[in-house]
Each structure stands twice: as C-alpha cells, then as structure tokens.
Amino acid sequence: MTSRDQAAVTLAQVAEAAGVGESTVSRVLRNHGSYSGKTRDRVMTAVERLGYVPNRIAGTLASAGSRLVAFVIPSLSNIVFADVLRGAGATLEENQYQAVFAVTDYDPAREEALVASMLAWRPAAVMLAGYEHTERTINMLRAANCRVVEMLDVDGTALDLAVGFSNRAAGRASAEFLLKRGYRRIGYVGHDLDRDTRAAKRYSSFCETLSANDVPLADREIYREASSVERGRLGLDSLLARTSDLDAVYFSNDDMALGGYFHCLARGIVIPSQLAIFGYNGLDLGRVMPQALSTIRTPRVATGQMAAKLIMDNAPSQVIDLGFELIEGATA
Amino acid sequence: MTSRDQAAVTLAQVAEAAGVGESTVSRVLRNHGSYSGKTRDRVMTAVERLGYVPNRIAGTLASAGSRLVAFVIPSLSNIVFADVLRGAGATLEENQYQAVFAVTDYDPAREEALVASMLAWRPAAVMLAGYEHTERTINMLRAANCRVVEMLDVDGTALDLAVGFSNRAAGRASAEFLLKRGYRRIGYVGHDLDRDTRAAKRYSSFCETLSANDVPLADREIYREASSVERGRLGLDSLLARTSDLDAVYFSNDDMALGGYFHCLARGIVIPSQLAIFGYNGLDLGRVMPQALSTIRTPRVATGQMAAKLIMDNAPSQVIDLGFELIEGATA
DNA sequence: AGTTTTTTTGGCAGCGCTACCATTTTATGG
DNA sequence: CCATAAAATGGTAGCGCTGCCAAAAAAACT
C-alpha cells in the first residue's frame, strides 16, 4: 500500500495551490520574514491539503548551514554513549537539529573513515569520544567548516570544544580511596586498554597513584575484548586463581565490577571483608545491588547536554570539566 | 584553530584543478560510468591536493534517492534498541547508508512529530518500533515515498515491512513454562504498559494463558515509569508486602528481574525454591548471574540486521518472524 | 586509409529550496 | 488627500551535485 516512486509535493506546488509566490510559502513555513495572517492561512491550508513535507535536503543546500550533528562514538552497547546521546538529544531536538551517528567499535581507523563519511553531510558539528584520533582524522576535522566536540575526556589538547572530566583524576581518586580504606593487595580487572584510551588513562593513573604510595598493583587481568559482565566474572576468577591474597579489585567499569560481584556471590566470597570491589561509571544498578557498588559516577548525560548546548550557543573553543563523584558504596 | 566559515572545496574546483569536466570528476569519484586510468589519477591527485570532501547534501538532491535511514526508537537507555541499531549499523555502513535517529520516549505523539521531521530528510527508509502509531503517523508514512520497517513485533498489520517476533507468543511461552514447572501463585512486576505496547502484549498474553489454565494472576505491581533495575527491586518488595505467598514472579524484562533478584539476595529469599523469577530479553548478564536467569532471549541484533538487509535488498513488503528462545536458567 | 564501433569526455539543465532584491500593497502622519 | 514609512509579496539566481546527451577520442575492423 505504501506508495513509492511518486514524486513528492514540492514547495512550488504549494505556492501554486495557495496562489502565492514560492518565497512567501517559504517565509510562512519557516516563520521568518513578514506575511499577513490571511496569507498564512491560505498557505497552511494548501500545505495541509497537499500533505506537503518540506525537503530539508534542498533547504540545507540552499541555505548553507546544515542542522545535522554527527556523533562518531565507539559503541552503542556501552551505556555510556547511549547516555551521552540521550543527553544531547533533547537539546538538539528543541533546536530542530538532527542527530546522525556512526559507531567506531573503538577503532581509530574506522573512526577516520566514519568522520570522512560524516563530513560529507556537512554537519554543523562532529561529536567524538576523547582526544585520541589519527592524524588524518584531525586534519580532516581542522579543515572542515564545522565545530568539533571531544567528549568524556579533558586530559589532553582539545581540537575545538571538549566536555567531560579527567579520567586520570578518576583513576587517582579510585586508588586513593582504596588506600584510605586500608587495602594493600590490590588487583585490576579490565578490558581492552589499547582501544579504550580513556580506560587506559584511568588504569595508568590508578597504578601510578598506588606506586607513589608504595603499594604497587598486586596483579591484573586484562582482556582484549570489550567490557561485559561476563568478562568481569571470568576476569576475577582468573585473577584470584593466580593471586589469591588480594584484598581489593579495581574494575575497568561497573559492568565488569558486577561480574566480579556475581563471582563473589557464587563462590561465597564475602564483600568487602574478604575482597573489596570498586567500579567505574556509577550506573543506576550499582545503587540497587544488595550492597551498593563503590564506584565513580561520571556525568554522562550532562556531558551530552553540555556538548549540545555549546553547539547551539556557538560557544567559543573551550574545555569544560564537569567532574565526577566518588560513591563510597558498600563494596569497598 | 578550527577554520570556520571558509567555503568548502567544490567538485567544480577539483575539475578545474585536474583540468577535466565536472561530470568526469563525478564519475571517477563514484566509480560509475567509464573513464581512463590517466584521468582517474589526475582527478584523485587534485582531490588529494585540495582536500576535497564530496557534498552528499547536494548529491542527494541531484540524484533523488537518499542514502539516509531514519530510526525512530522509543529509548536509548533500553539496551534493546541499542542492539537493534547495532545490528543494522554494519549492514547500512557497508552499503554507504547513513543512520539518522530520534528518540520518542515511548510517546506516540512524539513519534508522530519525529516521523514528520525525519521525512523532511527524505530517507530511504524509516525504522520504527512496533505497530502502534497515531493515525497521522501512519498517513504520513503511507504518503511518503520511502520504505517502512516496523521492528520487534509481528502481532498486527504491517504497513510495509516488519521484522521481529511475537510478543504474544513470548508472553504465552513464559506462562506455560512457569505452569509446567508447577508454579501456581504467580505475580507480575512491570513498567509502563500504556506506553510500551509490546510489554503490554506480553503481559496480557501471559495473563490469558494463566487464566486458561485456571491459575489466574495472583497479584501485580505496575509502575508508570520506564523499566529499571531499581523499579524491579522496589516492585518485588511492594508485591511481596501485599501478597506474601507468591511462588513465582514474571518481570516485564531482565532489568526489572535483576532488581527482583537483588531484592531476594538482600532479603535472604531463596531462589527458586521460595520464589521463582522469570525475565524477558535474554541480556548477557543473565547468563553470568550466580544463578542463570530464566528468561526469553529475543533476536535484537538479528532484527536490526534483517531490517537493514531488507532495505538494502529492496525486498517486497513482508513480515519476518525471527522467533525467540526460552532460556530455562536456574531462577525458575 | 576509411569506416564502424566503443570508450571517454564535457556541457548543461535541473533537484527543491533559500537569500536577496525589487516591487506592490497597506499603514501612518501631517 | 498626498507624502512617507512600513509591511507584504514575488521573481530569480544560485547552493553543489548528478543524469542525460552529444561530441570527441580511441580502438577495432575492412
């Protein structure tokens, strides 16, 4: 029943039907410039009757500035980026902007290709995760006539705008917290550090802080795959099999930590007296666990909101650190 | 450092620089039509030198058919839709299509507005969740010159293409499973049925199946908000406070079920002997819980893949039921 | 060498809209 | 009532590309 290949109604047809000029229809529809009430009614009636849907492709081409915002994000499975998108979504929509997105799977080469493909849509802005990009990606973005927002990190040099928080500071805060609580045999279970450079920053900062306090990291289990609850559980299992006297484990994120928590439950390991668990992200579910998860809550939605707001406001280049919050919880 | 407001390089400039005609550049860049190797090299050199990025806005306008695919989904927080997007993403990308999306928050009126706004981009296809749309949404989609895919449901009449599975069958299977296991005092904890019509279908089918077996639903706790782990935990708490002799609880999804599971852990309720728990979705984390979650695994990624494939293949209107899998688990 | 066929190429008219400018109509004021 | 300002309207040149067609160049045959 869907009617394909029928020519869509054009603005010219609406103008014809309403007995006015094309530019008048355009003005009425965009509520831009002046027109009389009577004209507006005639135009709107014609629009209604013909079922006219403006063609933004044409509109964008004619008016230069596009209202597309391109998101090039590492993953959709990771709730972090879904939250960022959610935060940005509302603001963009209010301003009649449209979000376009592509997923890099944490691969810089794919990011490069996707940025190139995104720029072909002449977006008003490109939103990326973090500061680590290939040289060509950076060159393309510099050459492009659009804003760039690097999100979820502030440790480095921004191309244009940056919104997020310090992953290094997060790693340090986590280490300091565990040290303050008296843990001395600390392990780490994490996912692919090569690709997730923000996780790598947290990890290295965590280790440095421990070392600076003469408590070197006791052991670690790092998977090359993406993070998951399952990896967290397997990782803790392997880690403890090798180094059984750990008193605390730092996970690369809450998903991994939940896996570790499940492992402890299954093996009867008492938390936190036998083993402390510390995560990262501050997912909602951490609050609801039988023992609230000790973790760091990151401003994911706020990052998206701020990123969108900066673009809408055409703010000057700057770096905005939204900080994070350490949640003491009951698992560490 | 980002250079804004500089005119972008155009195809005409490349043609000029390469000393060839515009259409020749166009042919080379799209690898469409014929051209000599020498010409290709000259064009590519000029492209490289000038840093030319094709303008797809213009290209789309000139060639009619757009390579945008619009996703109008209820939520990004719900992993279900992220999975669908992920599934579709790869296929779309291979075919040089671009995903555009907007989030309805399960609100049909918002869906209507967003579909209207999406159609303005003249997408090749619009991907929606389920069959329940406002009349105006349906009219717009019928009138639009594009394909429509309704995803994650097959209980109803499709507008054009539909890919998913039967939520009614899923509800029935869940009920039959619990009955087969001998549970007779069965409760339900769910989220907003008014908005999530697929959850509503599962619920009503679940109840009907119970009734048909003379085991009416013992009690239920339904929240008007979105589903979450927290709501699941609170919901089970309320439900048990009111009806303490339940022997099984059906949750509207795995998140809610995980909340219920946490509640049992916290209260020392033994699963499944004291209380059985059954979810819906088959999230990965269910497999890793100390006791594997009994649930129904839905083909979320496959739905996205199939939806994209149908569009790429320009398949005729049809409904594709990908089925689901009941995971017996250890919690029911 | 002269044809015929095939491959390559360039020119240019749109795609549907907006921006700009010119014109007409209406309102304002003395 | 006419001059002047203000509001409303229409015409049209692009935006940057693609599709079509005709022309030119190269290749393949007599």
Residue A142: which of B3, B7, B98 has the nearest Cβ?
A: B3
Cis peptide before A272 (omega within 30 of 0): yes
CB contact under 8 A, B142 and A83: no
Q: Does B3 score more than 70 pLDDT? A: no
CB contact under 8 A, B77 and A82: yes
Q: What is the pLDDT of residue B5?
A: 55
Question: Phi-psi category of B125—alpha, beta or left, where left has phi over 0 and alpha has psi -120 to 50?
Answer: beta
Q: What is the mean pLDDT of residues B51-74?
A: 93
pLDDT, tens only, B153-202:
999 999 999 999 999 999 999 999 999 999 999 999 999 889 999 999 99
Most A CBs within 10 A among B10, B145, B146, B317, hence the mutation to make, goes to B145
Alpha-carbon torsion (A79, A81, A83, A89), positive or negative: negative
B65-165+300-324 against B167-297: fold identical: yes
CB contact under 8 A, B142 and A53: no
Looking at chain A, which residue has its C-alpha nearest residue B144? Answer: A3
Looking at chain A, which residue has its C-alpha nearest residue B124? Answer: A4
What span, in angstroms and rounded, lies between the C-alpha atoms of A74 and A106?
A: 5
Provide the CA B306 to C1' C28 distance, Å, integer: 67
Size of interface A-B (CB pairs under 8 A): 179
Provide the CA B25 to C1' D19 distance, Å, integer: 14
Token pair listed for A139? 């060159």
Q: Does B4 score more than 90 pLDDT? A: no
pLDDT tens per residue across all 332 residues of chain A? 334 456 789 999 999 999 999 999 999 999 999 999 999 999 999 999 999 999 999 999 999 788 999 999 999 989 999 999 999 998 999 898 999 999 999 999 999 999 999 999 999 999 999 999 999 999 999 999 899 999 999 999 999 999 999 999 999 999 999 999 999 999 999 998 899 999 999 999 999 999 999 999 999 999 999 999 999 999 999 999 999 999 999 999 999 999 999 999 999 999 999 999 999 999 999 999 999 999 999 999 999 999 999 999 999 999 999 999 999 999 99
The total number of residues written for chain B in this structure: 332
The CATH homologous superfamily for domain A167-297 is: Response regulator (3.40.50.2300)
Distance of CA A239 to the CA centre of its chain: 30
The CATH homologous superfamily for domain B65-165+300-324 is: Response regulator (3.40.50.2300)
Domain boundary assignment for chain A = 11-54, 66-165+300-323, 167-297
The DSSP secondary structure of A185-242, one letter per residue, reads: SEEEEE--TTT-HHHHHHHHHHHHHHHHTT----EEEE-SS---HHHHHHHHHHHHHH
What span, in angstroms and rounded, lies between the C-alpha atoms of A136 and A126?
A: 15
Looking at chain A, which residue has its C-alpha nearest residue B283? Answer: A229
Yes or no: is domain A66-165+300-323 CATH 3.40.920.10? no
3-class state of residue A139 by DSSP: helix
Please answer whether residues B138 and B95 qualify as being in contact, where contact means their C-beta atoms are separated by less than 8 angstroms.
no
Token pair listed for B73? 């989904």
The candidate with the shortest Cα–Cα distance to B125, out of B106, B141, B105, is: B141
Judge whether residue B65 contacts strand C, using its CB and a 7 Å cut-off: no
* Distances, alpha carbon B318 to alpha carbons A17, B73, B103, B306, B310, in Å: 37, 21, 25, 12, 10
Judge whether residue B29 contacts strand D, using its CB and a 7 Å cut-off: yes
pLDDT, tens only, B229-262:
999 999 999 999 999 999 999 999 999 999 999 9
* Distances, alpha carbon B9 to alpha carbons A136, A138, B13, B15, B298, in Å: 17, 18, 7, 11, 47
Q: Which residues in A lie closer than 8 A to residue B255 (C-beta atoms)?
A: 285
Nucleotides of C under 7 A from a protein CB: 7-21
Q: Which residues pair with B146 in a beta bridge?
A: none
Judge whether residue A21 contacts strand C, using its CB and a 7 Å cut-off: no
Looking at chain B, which residue has its C-alpha nearest residue A289? Answer: B262
Q: What is the mean pLDDT of residues B305-312?
A: 97
Topology of the domain covering A11-54: 434 Repressor (Amino-terminal Domain) (1.10.260)
Please answer whether residues B81 and B73 qualify as being in contact, where contact means their C-beta atoms are separated by less than 8 angstroms.
yes
Tell me the backbone φ, ψ of residue A18, rounded to 5 degrees: -85, -10
Judge whether residue B26 contacts strand D, using its CB and a 7 Å cut-off: yes
Q: What is the pLDDT of residue B6?
A: 66
